[in-house]
Amino acid sequence: MHLHILGICGTFMGGIALLARAQGHKVTGSDQNVYPPMSTQLQEAGIELMQGYDASHLDPAPDIVVVGNAMSRGNPAVETMLDQGLPYTSGPQWLAEHILQDKWVLAVAGTHGKTSTSALLAWILEFAGLKPGFLIGGVPENFGVSARASESAFFVVEADEYDTAFFDKRSKFIHYHPRTLIMNNLEFDHADIFDDLEQIQKQFHFLVRTVPSTGLIISPLMDGNIHDVLDMGCWTELEHFDVESAAQWHADLVEADGSVFKLILNGEDQGTVSWDLIGHHNVSNALAAIAAARHAGVPVKDAIEALSKFVNVKRRMELRGEARGVKVYDDFAHHPTAIQTTLQGLRDRVGNQRIIAVLEPRSNTMKMGFHARELPESLQAADAILVMEPEGISWNVASVFSPLNEKAKVFSSTADIINTVCDIAKAEDHVLVMSNGGFANTHQRLLEQLKSQ
């Protein structure tokens, strides 16, 4: 079968392409952003990539067009597909029909931590010898790829609440029918498709409705928004986790930064986790992943051992390099809560050493200003804050950050940000660069400029 994928270089659609190619299908694809690393990963798998969305990309006609959720009416390839009556489907629907059928699906949903928790869960299963398939919205360093087909009965999928396609406005995760479901947390996000939190909760409850009574739902004990979802109706066994409260799964922190903690299950010490990750949010992710892995048959002691060998996903507090004694990190930040927890984890690790936070508020929700007033408070753990004002933003960045006075500065170019960091940074400083996009390769450019001085 010949699949042509529209929007193939997105992490999710790129994963679909890799899974289809692994099944022996011919795969081609179009995207307006064909560049590494995804383009390289796809080309190495024997997938032909085409720049843009020209109608000629569908000639000769493929057997089916798989449409990414970034596609909309008016796109030349979409209009050609519809005019010619070509068979088409969405990425989540194709995944459900061709990969997830007859699998034990372990799905990870939530506003924050989906990628890291999915990677943790896939690695624990791998370490235990279960060789799972997976599709994750990032590149887990333990695997080196974002998606993998497998003959295993188990498949781990990052379950995104974003809409499926222009012709299917349900959340992606509705298609996955998990037997094991993690719901990490729930806050308002994706203001470009949801009007309010209640709309997102409705989609999450649709997901809860798909989990069988013999399955398992794993959720945080103290998240009121998720409790509201479960109160709408739940027909599945529940297990709860929380970092410090007396949940069924919780942690006793040995190190304040979360790098060492005791794992407690039903009041009993199961062992000590010592790993490379930091932050209470990552401890929370670990609790959820261990609980899900146990449901699939992995003993807790094996999961604890697996975590000691876990390497985090790219762009999740990833140390990109060090120059002149200055460490530069890259983090995929898209929400004030994630920014705050990431910064606090770094603060717990580095103590009184200086943190310079560099933020690009790039997501659609950020640009629309829904979280603008929360941003200054979320960055308080930093000693200096440099904010990029991206094009298309609908709020006054300088005004929002004015209460922080000289601690925060607003910029209109990445070159000015890099110059400023180089001027103020000194040995033992930590520069945390946060964006959910490429940010004009600011991380590498900053490291190169620091080295050249």
Instruction: Say which CATH number the domain at 121 has.
Output: 3.40.1190.10
Coil, strand or helix at 53: coil
d(C-alpha 366, C-alpha 222), whole Å: 26
Same domain for 381 and 408, yes or no, is: yes
Query: What are the pLDDT digits (tens) for 130-158?
Result: 999 999 988 888 998 889 999 999 999 99
CB 132 within 8 A of CB 155: yes
Structure tokens at 317: 């507090």
Whether 363 has a pLDDT exceeding 80, the answer reads no
Which of 266, 281, 307 is the last residue before a domain boundary? 307
In a domain, 289, yes or no: yes
d(C-alpha 305, C-alpha 315), whole Å: 24
Which of 40, 70, 89 is the last residue before a domain boundary? 89
Same domain for 27 and 146, yes or no, is: no
Same domain for 34 and 131, yes or no, is: no
Cite the beta strand spans of 287-325 per DSSP E.
Answer: 318-323
Q: Which residue has the tokens 């406005």?
A: 169
List of residues 6+ apart from 441 with CB closer than 8 A: none
Please tell me the least confidently modeled range out of 63-67, 147-151, 277-281.
277-281
Same domain for 145 and 124, yes or no, is: yes
In a domain, 425, yes or no: yes
Same domain for 123 and 8, yes or no, is: no
Query: In Å, what is the CA distance from 231 to each residue of 187, 201, 234, 433?
Result: 17, 11, 7, 39
Nearest CA-CA partner of 308 in 280, 284, 286: 286
Q: Which amino acid is at 255?
A: E
Segment holding 350, helix H or strand E: helix 336-350
Write down the pLDDT at residue 375: 87
Range of the domain at 70: 2-89
In a domain, 94, yes or no: no
In a domain, 226, yes or no: yes
List of residues 6+ apart from 345 with CB closer than 8 A: 257, 258, 278, 279, 280, 281, 282, 317
In a domain, 208, yes or no: yes
Report the CATH number that the domain containing residue 58 is assigned in CATH. Answer: 3.40.50.720
**Structural domains counted in the chain:** 3
CA dihedral 349, 339, 230, 270 (to 10 degrees): -10
In a domain, 313, yes or no: no
Same domain for 10 and 132, yes or no, is: no
Same domain for 52 and 107, yes or no, is: no
Structure tokens at 251: 């942690």
Nearest CA-CA partner of 117 in 312, 254, 272, 273: 312
In a domain, 303, yes or no: yes
Same domain for 295 and 420, yes or no, is: no
Same domain for 40 and 172, yes or no, is: no
Same domain for 44 and 167, yes or no, is: no
Nearest CA-CA partner of 48 in 85, 4, 100: 4
Whether 30 has a pLDDT exceeding 80, the answer reads yes
Q: How confident is residue 450, by pLDDT bands cut at 50, 70 and 90?
A: confident
Same domain for 35 and 170, yes or no, is: no
Which of 307, 340, 372 is the last residue before a domain boundary? 307
Write down the pLDDT at residue 441: 84
Same domain for 111 and 249, yes or no, is: yes
Please provide the size of the chain in residues.
453
Query: What are the pLDDT digits (tens) for 318-346?
Result: 888 999 999 999 988 777 888 888 888 88
Whether 289 has a pLDDT exceeding 80, the answer reads yes
In a domain, 312, yes or no: no
